[in-house]
A and B are shown apart, each in its own frame.
Chain A
């Protein structure tokens, strides 16, 4: 992580198929996300027509000439080999989950663990489509992490709403800043 060039800033979006990675990146990217969506042949995992085959890419150009790069990991398991490559030099990762999914808890464990549990890089979790009649679901997820000594921001977020995406990004930026604080103390 210490090798990041000061003008390169990469934010990753990850999560299972259909969680909203492409939607979230498109919401804040200068141009619509460059995605390589193809017809989904894995309707068992998620009933949607299109899925991102390789990865999503978006960028936000800053006035001083630097650029924030946004990457979305592909949803399908067979592209998992790309995760460590994408993680390299990333400033932080946003994990998106589908709160309706039967395997929500497993997805949380899986992605949180695969991307370093917030220890290797700052991590924020956004959960969409939480059922209206189960208000403790999100809290239970947070407590699950707490039991393992992990305290990550975990919010309900509908990534179709611009403000919800901004909340996730802003929390991530705060974590990055707090990490810098710690580093300077050391």
Chain B
């Protein structure tokens, strides 16, 4: 197996971690093994489209450069490009092009890569990719689990699920296969539910508390609130949302504010991210403003505590 090194220049930590976790998925399925290195030692570079002089410097060198641009921007004029966020197949595609240009036997790369998508692409990754794609995708996607199938119809904002399976989805990880496009007719035995709910619970019960594409040291902010009318949750989540729609915060601050444990916080951030509600910035850790636990110190502190207790809301 050929080993090749790649390096990231000027890219956010969420992009690099997404890329690295996808490479992990591909590991052993391709005739080329990829490892991360410093730019000077790398065979291939991933550079940010808005990288300015830095991008120019590496593009003028002799190493293949993949220019990573945001999918809301126009595709930059470069030989190799990758829109962010990208899917595993897009990453495989560009790496295959590069390795054949570098003289690796492209056919060998392809031969071992599965025909449609890597077997281990997780359900979570495939769902995230679908949700980030443009909203006008009117195809139907299926995932298979030991206890039954579910179908996702992105354009209509809903998914279809067996009522029994639906109960389980709310409380545990269903070990579902990655979503794949199908032409099946949808049985009318299946319940039609909002996709948001699927995204939320999938991230909630995922194996890893913090989604691999989120940077632990990043700053987070919420674009919108999750619909807690559909996905019931406790006060901690309400409290986190209230702060995160006001200001960007790091994980430390959030832990302090909501008085919760790290696992709970990470599952919350992952669920918000999977549901496309989270803005994360891994590049600019703002100086942490002091967040005080308001329950003790706010103007209405004791009144709010009293009201919650009168209404039977947990304290």
Contact = CB atoms under 8 A, between A and B. Distances in A.
Given A136-B157, A142-B224, A170-B235, A176 B307 contact: no
B260 interface: no
Interface in B12-31: none
A112 B215 CA distance: 35
Contacts of A180: 294, 297-301
A183 to B, nearest CB: 8
B5 interface: no
Interface residues of B, number: 48
Nearest to B135: A136
Interface in A164-184: 164, 166-167, 169-171, 173-184
B110 interface: no
* Interface SS majority for chain B: mixed
A184 B297 contact: yes
Most buried by A among B257, B294, B301: B294
B239 A133 contact: no
Interface string B188-199: 000011111000
Given A152-B225, A155-B229, A182-B246, A9 B307 contact: yes
Contacts of A103: none
Interface string B174-206: 000000000000000000111110000000000
Contacts of B79: none
Nearest to B158: A135
B103 interface: no
B47 interface: no
Interface in A141-177: 142-143, 145-146, 151-157, 164, 166-167, 169-171, 173-177
Contacts of B196: 135, 139
A6 interface: yes
Contacts of B242: 153, 171, 174-175, 177-178
Nearest to B253: A181
Contact of A173 (B230, B289, B307): B307
Most buried by A among B158, B196, B235, B307: B307
Contact of A151 (B224, B257, B297, B300): B224
B306 A156 contact: no
Contacts of A136: 156-158, 194
Nearest to A137: B157
Nearest to A62: B306
A110 B122 CA distance: 43
B199 to A, nearest CB: 11
Contacts, number: 144
A120 interface: no
B304 A153 contact: no
A44 interface: no
Interface stretch (A33-41, A50-58, A63-71, A77-85): A63-71
B222 interface: yes
Contact of B300 (A63, A135, A143, A176): A176
Contact of A9 (B257, B303, B308, B311): B303
A170 B289 CA distance: 25
A127 B228 CA distance: 12
Interface string B72-99: 0000000000000000000000000000
Contacts of B192: 133, 135
B311 A166 contact: yes
A135 B195 contact: yes
Nearest to A63: B306
B223 interface: yes
A102 interface: no
A138 interface: yes
Interface of A: 4, 6-7, 9, 28, 60, 62-64, 66, 68, 91, 126-127, 133, 135-136, 138-139, 142-143, 145-146, 151-157, 164, 166-167, 169-171, 173-185
Task: Please list the 10 inter-chain residue pairs (A to B) with the smallest Cβ-Cβ separation, ordered nearest first.
Answer: A136-B157, A180-B298, A155-B229, A156-B229, A135-B194, A178-B242, A62-B306, A174-B242, A151-B245, A177-B294
Interface of B: 156-158, 192-196, 222-225, 227-230, 232, 235, 238-239, 241-243, 245-247, 257, 289-292, 294-295, 297-304, 306-308, 310-313
9 contacts: A9-B307, A28-B311, A63-B310, A136-B158, A139-B227, A153-B225, A176-B304, A177-B304, A179-B246
